[in-house]
Copies of this chain bind each other. A is one copy, B any other.
Amino acid sequence: MSLPHAILTALLEKPSSGLELTRRFDRSIGYFWSATHQQIYRELGKLEEAGLIRALPSAQPARGRRKEYEVLPAGRAELTGWVGRSEDPKPVRDALLLRMRAAAVVGTEGLEAELGRHLDLHRRQLAEYEDIERRHFPPERDAAEDRLRHVVLRGGIELERFWIGWLTEALAEVGGPPPAPRRG
């Protein structure tokens, strides 16, 4: 149940309309909690209903009309509580690891290309994170707030490095070894 909290965080960082939030979920905060515009509009409605956020008075409500939201005290309180709440990590559900395991049973046909494609995607994502790191977290800055956000970004960076490492290893196993290495 983290989507509302992702939205509250984004709105505290900067009051926004639904579309602006959607754009920020395509970069920034969305790197760690993705969401589509349909989810976002639905959730904004619920959060407003629950009294955690409100539409800025300037925005008269009408379809097609821009509507900006800000977080109310109750919303900030909810987010503050959530930060320290006990919540177990979700069990892993990764399709690529699973496919590798399926390949152990039915063969690896077509898998090498797919692993290579993923490797490329993760390399691009890593490059993007590293670029953000250079621009947003130069060595001389270290406000506490920034340090926390930097740790989050480093999590993203290290996660991409994990995938790059694993995919490289996996490719060596799938594509690398000749069919009968000990006879070669």
Our pick among B6, B104, B114, B158 for the contact of A85 (Cβ within 8 Å) is B114
Q: How far is the CA of A109 from the CA of B84 in the complex (A)?
A: 6
Question: For A47, what are the chain B residues with a Cβ–Cβ distance below 8 Å?
Answer: none
One digit per residue, 1 when the CB lies within 8 angstroms of any chain B CB and 0 when it does not, for chain A 10-33 equals 001100000000000000011111
This chain: copies in complex: 2
What is the interface of chain A mostly: helix, strand, loop, or mixed? helix
* A173 & B159 in contact (Cβ 8 Å cutoff): no
Q: How far is the CA of A117 from the CA of B13 in the complex (A)?
A: 28
CB distance from A47 to the nearest CB of B (A): 14
Q: Would A173 and B158 be within 8 Å (CB), given that A79-B105, A107-B83, A110-B83 are in contact?
A: no
* B104 & A32 in contact (Cβ 8 Å cutoff): no
Task: Kindly list 19 other residue pairs between chains A and B, CB separation below 8 angstroms, not including A12-B105, A79-B105, A85-B114.
Answer: A2-B95, A2-B98, A5-B98, A6-B98, A29-B101, A31-B92, A32-B94, A32-B101, A33-B95, A79-B102, A83-B99, A83-B103, A84-B109, A89-B96, A90-B95, A100-B151, A101-B149, A101-B152, A108-B148
